[in-house]
Amino acid sequence: MSHIICVVNQKGGVGKTTTAVNLSAALAYSNCPTLLVDLDPQCNATSALGKTPLENHPLATGRPWNDSLVNSGIERLDLMPGARSLADIQALNAEDPVQTKRLRDVLAYGLSDYQYVLIDSPPSVGALTKTALTASDETLMPIQCEFFAMEGLTRMIELIRDVRNNEQRRLEFAGVVLTMVDYNLELTREVENDVRDFFGEIVFRTVIPRDVSLAEASSFGQNIFEYAPRSRAARAYRELCMEVMDRG
């Protein structure tokens, strides 16, 4: 049975897509068949793997979705590319119960070949994010170590609770991961303490350091293990992968 994990944060620029891409790659390199689903209309997860967004999203076309899967170039990692179509965004609206059931059925019954399915969701608390949460079993939330890290998280937590209550889903926290960590800054230590005090044991021990290699890797359409396998970021995502696997 697949672990369906929604990588989510309503705030942009926190390392959400970076985490979705590199954690997916780490799982694949760890011999876990993995699928990365790009549900963010910005399609950054698709571009970060060196692939081209589609004209229409596979989950919105009504055609066999598996025909649109592409190999990422990494063994055991497939990609469901994103699409920037506004019509598709509306079609994937979680307020449509028919579409919600279809998406849930696809992810629940159509992906049994994958051990892990990671969904890169939009940076918002809108309908498309709700769709991603509704189709998932777990949420993984990257939080940047900066001044406004905790701002707005209340709305995201309320959305997660709403999905759990109204959709009768057993939606669990896979965990919270701290990103862009720089221990030379006192603010980083303060934010880490605040996040660990607030979320408790669901915060991963592993933190993702601030590392320019992550941005460079994405610009070349590569994951961090291809671009800079000996970097601090690569080591961190390997360790995060091990924690995710241990918790699963």
CATH number for the domain spanning 155: value is 3.40.50.300
What distance lies between CA 19 and its chain's CA centroid? 6
CA distance 32 to 2: 10
Are 120 and 38 spatial neighbours (Cβ–Cβ below 8 Å)?
yes
CA distance 12 to 109: 31
Q: Which residues contact 243 (CB under 8 A, 6 or more apart)?
A: 175, 204, 205, 206
Phi, psi (rounded to 5 degrees) for 110: -95, -5
- The three-class DSSP label of residue 244 is helix
- The three-class DSSP label of residue 94 is coil
Residue type, 188: T
Tens of pLDDT along 1-13? 688 999 999 888 8
CA distance 24 to 121: 14
pTM as predicted: 0.92
Nearest to 75 by CA among 25, 116, 120: 25
CA distance 141 to 177: 6
- The three-class DSSP label of residue 121 is coil
Q: And the tokens for 210?
A: 């601030």
Provide the pairing of β-strand 34-38 with 138-144: unpaired
Tens of pLDDT along 1-45? 688 999 999 888 899 999 999 999 999 999 999 999 999 989 999
- Concatenated DSSP letters for 55-72? SS-HHHHSS-GGGG-EE-
Structural domain including 49 reads 3-247
CA distance 205 to 32: 22
Residue 10: the pLDDT is 87
| Residues, the chain | 248
Are 119 and 5 spatial neighbours (Cβ–Cβ below 8 Å)?
yes
Residues of the chain with pLDDT under 50: none
**How are strands ordered across the β-sheet holding 138-144?**
70-71, 77-80, 34-38, 116-120, 3-7, 138-144, 172-181, 203-209
- Say how many domains are in the chain: 1
